[in-house]
Structure formats: C-alpha cells, structure tokens
Amino acid sequence: MLLQRYADNDLFGSLRDMQRLQNSLNRLLTASVPLEASAEFPPINVWTSENGAIVRAEIPGVAPEDVDISLVNDTLTLRGSRNPEELKEGESRHRQERGYGQFARSLQLPFGVEADHVQAKFSNGVLQITLPRAEAEKPRRISVVSES
C-alpha cells in the first residue's frame, strides 16, 4: 500500500531525475579542472633519519625533463607542468578528474642538506629525491667522562 502511494507520486522518477542532474553537474564542474584548484599537488611523502631525508612525489603523466627541482638552504621546491590529454577527432570527454597545468610545491626540511650529493630518480610516475643531511647537522654522540 505504501509502495503504491510512492509510485503514484512518482517519487522514484524524481529521484532518478535528481541523480541525472547531479551527474550532469559533476561532469560540468570537473570538465577541465587545472592543478591549481586541487589542494596540494603533487602529493608527497617524506621520510627522515639521522643520515638525511627521502622525498617521494607522485607526478603521473609528467616527463622527467619537465620537472625542475631546486634546493635553497633548507627549502626544497618542485616545479613542472602536465599537459592535457589530446582528444582524437570524434571524441569528447565523458569525465576528467586528473588535472593539468603548472604546479609548484615547496617544503621546508628539518635540517640542512649536502646539496652536491642530492639525487633524483624517476620511475613509474614517482619522483624520488634523496637528500643527505649536512655533516654539521648530523647528531653527534657525546661521551660522558667520570671524574672520580
């Protein structure tokens, strides 16, 4: 009886119409979102130890030669760009969630770095930067001498 009353009011048809409207709005609003609109790009992970730090950044679709890495004092900066994927004739975008455009990400390291020994490797869309800690910044063990 209750189901019949809802069917007579076309509630389910209205819900389908609302879902179609929401899907259309989602496609419209995400049609061409540049990278600047996202919170933080590229996403990074940082590990530190007494010997240095490792930074990993996910930058799929970016060629290694399109990435600029700079180190000034204790601040590491990644810059680059990702181009939009080209459409072939007769194709149209159904959905686009991956952004494109210029990006820049800086992070301050908790210690100074031996800039001459920094290494960067790129594999499967992941950039890994190895930053050795400066000798003057490494923790030192201090021995205690007894005066007795």
pLDDT at residue 123 is higher than 90: yes
Residues 84 and 97: their CA atoms lie apart, in Å, by: 11
Considering the domain architecture, whether residues 67 and 108 belong to the same structural domain is answered as yes
State yes or no: pLDDT of 96 exceeds 90.
no
Is residue 146 a part of any domain in this protein? no
Distances (CA, A) of 128 to 13, 71, 77, 107, 122: 51, 14, 13, 14, 6
107 shares a domain with 74: yes
Same domain, 42 and 69: yes
pLDDT class of 38 with cuts at 50, 70, 90: very low
Residues 3 and 46 in one domain: no
58 located within any domain: yes
When divided into structural domains, the chain yields a total of 2
User: Do residues 47 and 76 both lie within one domain?
Assistant: yes
Give yes or no: residues 53 and 104 share one domain: yes
Question: Does residue 44 sit in the same domain as residue 25?
Answer: no
Residue 32 is which amino acid? Answer: S
Q: Are 73 and 14 in the same domain?
A: no
Q: What is the pLDDT of residue 37?
A: 42
How many angstroms separate the CA atoms of 102 and 31, rounded? 17
What residues pair up with 119 in beta bridges, in sequence order? 130
Q: Is 64 found in the same domain as 49? A: yes
pLDDT digits (tens, 9 = 90+) for 44-90: 999 999 899 999 999 998 999 999 999 998 899 999 998 888 888 98
- Domain hosting 77: range is 34-85+98-138
pLDDT in tens, 97-122: 878 889 999 999 999 999 999 999 99
Question: CATH code at 115?
Answer: 2.60.40.790
Quick check: 15 pLDDT over 50? yes
Q: Are residues 16 and 71 in the same domain?
A: no
pLDDT of residue 69: 96
Q: Are 104 and 84 in contact (CB under 8 A)?
A: no
Q: How confident is the model at residue 23 (pLDDT cuts 50, 70, 90)?
A: confident
The per-residue pLDDT of the chain, averaged, comes to: 83
